[in-house]
Amino acid sequence: MPRNDNAKKPPLTVRLASPRGFCAGVERAIRTVEEALALHGAPVFVRHEIVHNTHVVARLSAMGAVFVEDLGGVPTDRPVVFSAHGAPRTAHEDAASRKLMKIDATCPLVLKVHSQIRRHVSAGRKVILIGHRNHPEVIGSMGQAPEGAVILVETLDNIAALPDFAGPLAYSTQTTLSVDETKDMIAALKARFPEIAGPAREDICYATSNRQEAVKAAAKTCDLFVVIGSPTSSNSVRLVETAKAAGAADALLLEDAERFDWTLLNGVNTIGLSAGASAPETLVEAFLTALAARRNLRIDHIETAREDVVFNTPHRLAS
């Protein structure tokens, strides 16, 4: 009679959030590097990590991508891809002055924020940007205008400490923020500056919003919630915060199954699972496989939206 190993394993319910993982902007950025390597051969230089995931960066590095923070070492006969996070105008000007073969993989939704900021500044407005200091997307957004034209706020206290500006104002936000916290900050800005101009639609991208809504729905009854992603990924960190706020007893960020402390499963009957927008689905599958080796899984699929967004390849690579 065949052995039933599952019968010996304690049960575990996995509440698997969907949408999760790669968004259209990340897929486009990774595809851009892959196609540049196929077209031009190695090496292809990439300004900053193409997306914030160590596994993605390692795979592309093995294929011949070279990640740099400064364009000074990029040869003029090799392509350089600008990452999904966007870059300040000075970086684009530097590439142009050196006649580099630039391929811009900036997420189109980040480019929308850049365009808003430039338009507001051209109209004489000072821009208040809601975001996280030193994040590459924020650096790129602030770098769309002369120094002092964009003011960064990270907290409600920052907004309360703003001076009473004499001229017209506008606001924009980083695309990967907490939806709920950002609503509170926008409300505080509008309370302080009733005439402040804002985007026709929120700057937080559809993928960030969708992943947070799915985590909210999945996290409510979880003893533990795991978000697959890298600690440098802003949207992944926000998902951990969202899971805790939604009622998960505990939540953590995990780069891959190999780094998981399996003692954390002690006393856990229900675990939630999602992945940040720059995390490959293979990492989710590997964690589920590792769970299945230890527990008898029942997987509940918690789907709150369907995504069919696709962004075209950058013009320089388009056939």
pLDDT, the chain, mean: 95
The predicted structure's pLDDT at residue 315: 76
* Host H or E run for residue 286: helix 281-292
Q: What is the per-residue pLDDT across 75-133, written as a single tens digit (0 to 9) for each?
A: 999 999 999 999 999 999 999 999 999 999 999 999 999 999 999 999 999 999 999 99
Name 308's Cβ contacts closer than 8 Å, sequence gap at least 6.
none
For the residues of 47-110, what is the DSSP string, one character each?
A: ES-SSS-HHHHHHHHHHTEEEES-GGG--TTSEEEEPTT---HHHHHHHHHTT-EEEE---HHH
The pLDDT score that the predictor gives to residue 201 is: 79
pLDDT in tens, 118-176: 999 999 999 999 999 999 999 999 999 999 999 999 999 999 999 999 999 999 999 99
Q: Per mean pLDDT, which range of 29-43, 192-206, 207-221, 275-289 is the poorest?
A: 192-206
- Point out the catalytic residue in the list 27, 34, 35, 137: 137
Q: Give the count of beta carbons closer than 10 Å to the beta carbon of residue 233.
A: 26
For each of the domains in the chain, give its residue range(s) and CATH number, in order of start. Answer: 8-23+206-303 (3.40.1010.20), 24-107 (3.40.50.11270), 109-192 (3.40.1010.20)
Q: Is 27 a catalytic residue?
A: no
